[in-house]
Amino acid sequence: MFYPNPVKGTGVLHYNTSDPGMISYTIFSASGQAILRRSIPVQKGKNMLDLDTSTLAAGYYVLSVIDGGKTGTSIPFVKQ
């Protein structure tokens, strides 16, 4: 889950993982271009991660989260 949606500055990603380590996320534009890539450390279980979207222009995006080399989640969102 990623909220608020639409987002103005910082959004929060709720992410569950079975193992501690790193997750990577990529934000894609509506045309499919990778705009932003980051890696974040996570703990086993529930994680609440702040994602700064302040550098993104207003528009439609997709947040893709990769955990352990697998794509775990794709979340569409709107940046205001």
Cβ atoms 6, 61 nearer than 8 A: no
- pTM value is 0.89
- Cα separation, 36 vs 44, in Å, equals 25
Cβ atoms 42, 49 nearer than 8 A: yes
Mean pLDDT of the chain: 93
- Over residues 49-73, mean pLDDT: 90
Which domains are delineated in the chain?
2-79 (2.60.40.2550)
69 pLDDT above the threshold of 80: no
8 pLDDT above the threshold of 90: yes
- In this prediction, residue 71 has a pLDDT band, given cuts at 50, 70 and 90, of low
